[in-house]
């Protein structure tokens, strides 16, 4: 089940009000904004969407809200990661029924996965519970601690798991990404997921990108791609440096809290992040806004 999505896929936020309850009201406006800015797909309920901080019912509700607002115009990939296989299967079946284009997951956390064979077996257990849509393995070793080479994973799994459509590759090891792309790109779709390495990944042959900063910087990434494709290396680097500066500024705080602040600054208030994360203080918010304005985001 190979996926043929290209371009920018926005890892979307989940909306909470000040009391921490899920509030669907901001979703339709954001979806229209993203589509108007040339976003090619959505990735919902992942790290940016705080899915692992929410109940199964809340995740289902947000999933339905995004798929409903999109109304078939662009693909929606739904992250179904959970600490329980049973809950993951429930989330998968719901996402498929709601109209998800694909589902995606990390492995259940806490218990150590110490071999590539364990990884293959666990991915198989998740992916094989349905045959209707592709499954995208979510490789994010900074969160999971699973530092296996993905080209070795693809070699081991071969063609034995037809549900596997690709990998969301959120790691700075672009040598491994290139191995996956060159050796297995005809069979599996490689989604690059480190926004601050966008241009190097583009040079490595990436053509599909999943990221949180595409919610508010899509035009900059479109400019990078256009200039790089036309051979304007200096122009591509100039646009890329702007993106890198903005990402560097937001990483001066908790990355999710600062990006939710940017969304609020941009007129899309998705509320604070869920505990244990803390929102920016008013002083941090004001300082951050001034820095972003100086860089040219606003």
Q: Is 168 a catalytic residue?
A: yes
Tokens of 144: 């999971």
What is the Rg, in whole angstroms, of the alpha carbon atoms belonging to the chain? Answer: 18
- The pLDDT of residue 2 is above 80: no
Q: How confident is the model at residue 284 (pLDDT cuts 50, 70, 90)?
A: very high
Q: Are 170 and 211 in contact (CB under 8 A)?
A: no
Residues 95-145 have pLDDT tens digits of 999 999 999 999 998 888 999 999 999 999 999 999 999 999 999 999 999
What is the per-residue pLDDT for 53? 95
Tokens of 215: 């919610």
**pTM: predicted TM-score of the whole model, two decimal places:** 0.97
- The pLDDT of residue 250 is above 90: yes
Residue of 137, 168, 214, 253 marked active site:
168
Burial 6-15 (b: 16+ CB within 10 A, else e): ebbbbbbbbb
Residues 161-184 have pLDDT tens digits of 999 999 999 999 999 999 999 999
Helix (H) or strand (E) holding 208: strand 208-211
Q: Work out the average pLDDT over 158-163.
A: 93
Residues 60-76 have pLDDT tens digits of 999 999 999 999 999 99
Q: Which residues contact 150 (CB under 8 A, 6 or more apart)?
A: 139, 167, 169, 171, 176, 177, 179, 180
Residue with tokens 């921490």: 20
Please check if 210 is assigned to a binding site.
yes
- Between the alpha carbon of residue 111 and those of residues 35, 81, 108, 149, 174, the distances in Å are 39, 15, 8, 20, 27
What is the per-residue pLDDT for 278? 95
Q: Cα(289)–Cα(298) distance, rounded to whole angstroms?
A: 9
| Start-to-end Cα distance in the chain | 41
What's the length of the chain? 298
**Domains of the chain by residue range:** 7-217
* Alpha-helical runs (H) found in 2-55: 27-36
CA 270, chain centre distance (Å): 17
- The pLDDT of residue 216 is above 90: yes
Q: Is 228 a catalytic residue?
A: no
Tokens of 216: 């508010």
* Alpha-helical runs (H) found in the chain: 27-36, 56-70, 85-98, 116-127, 141-144, 150-157, 174-184, 198-203, 214-229, 233-250, 255-265, 282-295
Q: Cα(262)–Cα(216) distance, rounded to whole angstroms?
A: 8
What is the per-residue pLDDT for 225? 98
Q: Cα(148)–Cα(125) distance, rounded to whole angstroms?
A: 18
Phi, psi for 288 (deg, rounded to 5): -60, -45
What is the per-residue pLDDT for 4? 86
Per cent of the chain over pLDDT 70 is 100
Mean pLDDT of the chain: 96
- The pLDDT of residue 198 is above 80: yes
Q: How confident is the model at residue 52 (pLDDT cuts 50, 70, 90)?
A: very high
CA 120, chain centre distance (Å): 22
Domain covering 7-217 in this structure, CATH number:
3.20.20.70
């Amino acid at each position: 089940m190979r996926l043929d999505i290209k371009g920018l896929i926005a890892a979307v936020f989940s909306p909470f009000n000040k009391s921490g309850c899920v509030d669907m009201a901001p979703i339709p406006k954001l979806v229209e904004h993203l589509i108007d800015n040339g976003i090619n797909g959505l990735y919902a309920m992942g790290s940016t969407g705080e899915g692992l901080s929410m109940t199964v019912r809340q995740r289902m509700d947000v999933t339905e809200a995004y798929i409903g607002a999109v109304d078939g115009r662009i693909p929606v990939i739904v992250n179904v990661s959970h600490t329980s296989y049973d809950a993951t299967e429930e989330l998968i079946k719901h996402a498929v029924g709601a109209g998800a284009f694909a589902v995606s997951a990390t492995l259940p956390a806490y218990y150590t996965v110490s071999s590539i064979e364990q990884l293959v077996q666990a991915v198989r257990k998740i992916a094989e519970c349905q045959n209707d849509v592709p499954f995208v393995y979510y490789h994010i070793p900074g969160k999971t601690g699973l530092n296996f080479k993905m080209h070795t994973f693809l070699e081991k799994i071969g063609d034995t798991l037809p549900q596997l459509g690709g990998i969301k590759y959120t790691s700075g090891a672009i040598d491994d990404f290139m191995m996956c792309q060159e050796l297995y790109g005809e069979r599996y779709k490689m989604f690059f997921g480190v926004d601050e390495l966008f241009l190097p990944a583009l040079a490595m042959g990436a053509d599909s990108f999943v990221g949180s900063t595409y919610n508010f910087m899509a035009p900059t990434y479109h400019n990078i791609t256009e200039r790089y494709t036309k051979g304007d290396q200096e122009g591509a680097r100039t646009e890329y440096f702007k993106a890198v500066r903005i990402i560097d500024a937001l990483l001066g705080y908790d990355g999710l809290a600062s990006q939710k602040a940017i969304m609020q600054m941009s007129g899309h208030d998705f509320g604070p992040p869920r505990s244990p994360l803390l929102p920016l203080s008013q002083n941090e918010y004001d300082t951050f806004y001034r820095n972003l304005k100086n860089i040219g985001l606003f």
